[in-house]
């Protein structure tokens, strides 16, 4: 397959008018077969969402391969070609069933590719539980991580941990040794504690600014510890609700454009009408762009990742920066950048054609 006349996303080079080649489901130096005339559309990598819970009435925590298939079909239609959905804070047996369902899921064309699972809990701080159920919060446990790793057949790529909760400081290096990325989140930790966690291998911040202490001049907290360490990448829910536009742009300056990850944190109400839903067994009311628990706590988002990219552009963030934050950055953050997240030769041929004026999706292609 050949894609011609497109404005091809080339990372820091921006958009370049050139021809893109696809052979055997991967980007290649040359190819034959069908020709797509992109007609001056932007051609960007398929988006990669490493933190979201569900959409169109379904949630990863429903614990069935059919649920994952329905979510993945919706995500692909929205230009998200690789997904690493997140669990909620639930009991160990329920988490095991969720991991088993992911292991049983059969990938296929017409759906986003399942590249991992993000365990958002249960190893979090009750004081910063957000929309998580406090009944199931547990101290960090290598034994439970190993169980979930085995049940998922190695799909666990990312785990959120509050580093102030013992024995987090012994758990973090053990998780890293197993190839799992550790994200600081749902935490009350201070700068020194977060810095120690980073020194032990933590390399993410979970939905930065949300469910953690704010950045302060005398108490820089986990955000300060994160931007001081080049190894740490910062998730940001870029839905226009969770984080003020000035803070989104500020985080890009603090961390640098290579270290910010846009996430949707979407829940099952995404793509659905206003009404009552649930998240992790707790009731959520959705009205317009807001999803809230009964006590008013914001409970995830109702925006998909492509909508988040458009929100970023509406904030004044350059399109090429927004695209990188939703493609190569998240892919790199979970070690999948040699397969997805860019249009480089040898990567899966995942790409999205966007209207140059509206950023509406014109076509989505998924490789292998």
User: Which residues are identified as catalytic?
Assistant: 265
Distance CA 48, CA 305 (A): 8
Q: 116: helix, coil or strand?
A: coil
Q: How far is CA 145 from CA 5, 170, 193, 269, 279, in A?
A: 48, 13, 22, 29, 22
Distance CA 23, CA 368 (A): 10
Q: 127: helix, coil or strand?
A: helix
With beta carbons less than 8 A apart as the criterion, state whether 140 and 163 touch.
no
Number of neighbours of residue 296 by Cβ within 10 angstroms? 9
For 176, what's the count of Cα atoms within 13 Å in the CB-facing half-sphere? 17
* Dihedral sign (CA 200, 206, 210, 215): positive
In this structure, what token pair is assigned to residue 314? 């509406």
Helical residues (DSSP H) of the chain, grouped into ranges: 65-77, 92-104, 142-151, 168-177, 191-199, 221-228, 245-255, 305-314, 319-325, 328-333
* Dihedral sign (CA 319, 325, 327, 332): positive
DSSP codes, 268-326:
TTTTS-SEEEEETTEEEEEETTEEE-TTS-B-SBS--HHHHHHHHHHTT--HHHHHHHT
With beta carbons less than 8 A apart as the criterion, state whether 180 and 201 touch.
no
Greatest distance between any 2 Cα atoms in the chain? 61
Burial label, 135 (beta-carbon count in 10 A; 0-12, 13-18, 19+): exposed
In this structure, what token pair is assigned to residue 182? 């550790």
């Amino acid at each position: 397959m050949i894609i011609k006349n497109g404005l091809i996303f080339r990372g820091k080079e921006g958009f370049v008018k050139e021809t893109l080649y696809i052979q055997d489901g991967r980007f290649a130096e040359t190819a034959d077969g069908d020709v797509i005339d992109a007609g001056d559309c932007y051609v960007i990598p398929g988006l990669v969402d490493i933190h979201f819970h569900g959409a169109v009435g379904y949630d990863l925590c429903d614990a069935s391969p059919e649920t994952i298939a329905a979510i993945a079909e919706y995500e692909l239609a929205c230009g998200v070609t690789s997904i690493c959905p997140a669990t909620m804070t639930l009991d160990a047996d329920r988490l095991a069933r969720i991991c088993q369902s992911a292991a049983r899921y059969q990938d296929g064309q017409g759906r986003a590719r399942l590249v991992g699972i993000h365990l958002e809990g249960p190893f979090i701080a009750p004081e910063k539980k957000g929309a998580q159920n406090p009944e199931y919060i547990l101290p960090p446990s290598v034994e439970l991580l190993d169980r979930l790793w085995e049940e998922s057949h190695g799909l666990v790529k990312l785990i959120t941990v509050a580093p102030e909760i013992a024995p987090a400081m012994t758990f973090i290096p053990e998780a890293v040794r197993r190839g799992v990325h550790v994200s600081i989140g749902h935490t009350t930790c201070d700068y020194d504690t977060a810095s120690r966690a980073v020194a032990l291998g933590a390399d993410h911040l979970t939905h930065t600014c949300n469910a953690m202490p704010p950045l302060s001049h005398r108490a820089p907290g986990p955000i300060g510890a994160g931007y001081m360490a080049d190894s740490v990448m910062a998730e940001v829910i870029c839905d226009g609700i969770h984080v003020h536009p000035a803070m989104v742009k500020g985080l890009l300056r603090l961390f640098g454009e290579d270290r910010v990850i846009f996430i949707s944190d979407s829940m099952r109400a995404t793509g659905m009408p206003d009404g009552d839903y649930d998240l992790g067994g707790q009731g959520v009311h959705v009205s317009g762009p807001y999803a809230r628990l009964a006590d008013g706590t914001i409970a995830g988002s109702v925006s998909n990742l492509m909508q988040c990219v458009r929100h970023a552009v509406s904030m004044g963030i350059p399109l090429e920066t927004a695209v990188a934050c939703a493609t190569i950055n998240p892919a790199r953050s979970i070690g999948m950048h040699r397969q997805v997240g860019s249009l480089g030769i040898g990567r899966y041929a995942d790409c999205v054609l966007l209207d140059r004026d509206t950023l509406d999706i014109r076509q989505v292609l998924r490789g292998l």
